[in-house]
């Protein structure tokens, strides 16, 4: 099975992540004034930065609109961002068309039932460790860490390892 996952990961040119439950732990912190707060794991952010540095495209698709997510993704350099999306599969198809990438060259990382359709479309479907059981059952690969707790970094390292790029991007960040 590991060989099949690495084969699929080696083909990926676009990695797409859900937000709540994947890039975050799924908790929603809302202030009395309607303000929203989210916690992102710094390791996940560096993983995304490393993917971009290695030349992969990164996308984020979420059913919830969020200025907080938009600001975080902008800070990381993620250009393909779709928030407040009611059909994640349609949005993934739009990204694929825009980037001239086939479904087999895409990975989608999700955690809940609304992620099943884009996961089925992607050549590599990934569930975070604490995803809904139906999502885990349909994923090609399941992370060892939970959403918002380093799972995204695991995905990034899988992709970079499969493509023979992990050592090169890590080497650029190590002290001499």
- How does pLDDT run across 124-133, given as a tens digit for each residue? 999 999 999 9
Strand intervals (E) in 70-149: 80-83, 106-110, 124-127, 141-142
pTM: 0.95
**Rounded-to-integer distance, Cα 176 and Cα 173, Å:** 9
The CB density around residue 166, as the number of other CB atoms within 10 Å, is: 17
Q: Is the pLDDT of residue 170 over 90?
A: no
Identify the CATH number of the domain in which residue 112 sits.
3.40.50.1000
Q: Is residue 168 part of a domain?
A: no
* Pairing assessment for the beta strands 29-30 and 14-17 based on DSSP bridges: unpaired
For the chain, the domain total comes to 1
pLDDT tens track for 34-81? 888 999 999 999 999 999 999 999 999 999 999 999 999 999 999 999
Q: Is residue 59 part of a domain?
A: yes
**Rounded-to-integer distance, Cα 92 and Cα 82, Å:** 9
């Amino acid at each position: 099975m590991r060989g099949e996952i690495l084969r699929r990961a080696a083909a990926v040119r676009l990695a797409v992540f859900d937000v709540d439950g994947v890039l975050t732990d799924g908790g929603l912190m809302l202030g009395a004034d309607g303000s929203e707060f989210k916690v992102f794991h710094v390791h996940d952010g560096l993983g995304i930065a490393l993917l971009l540095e290695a030349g992969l495209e990164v996308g984020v698709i979420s059913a919830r609109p969020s200025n907080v997510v938009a600001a975080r993704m902008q800070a990381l350099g993620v250009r393909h961002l779709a928030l407040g999306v009611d059909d994640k599969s349609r949005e993934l198809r739009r990204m694929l068309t825009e980037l001239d990438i086939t479904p087999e060259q895409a990975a989608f990382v999700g955690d809940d039932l609304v992620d099943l359709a884009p996961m089925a479309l992607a050549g590599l479907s990934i569930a975070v460790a604490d995803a809904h059981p139906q999502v885990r059952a349909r994923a090609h690969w399941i992370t060892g860490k939970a959403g918002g707790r380093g799972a995204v970094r695991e995905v990034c390292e899988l992709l970079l390892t499969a493509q023979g790029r992990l050592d090169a991007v890590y080497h650029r960040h190590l002290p001499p």
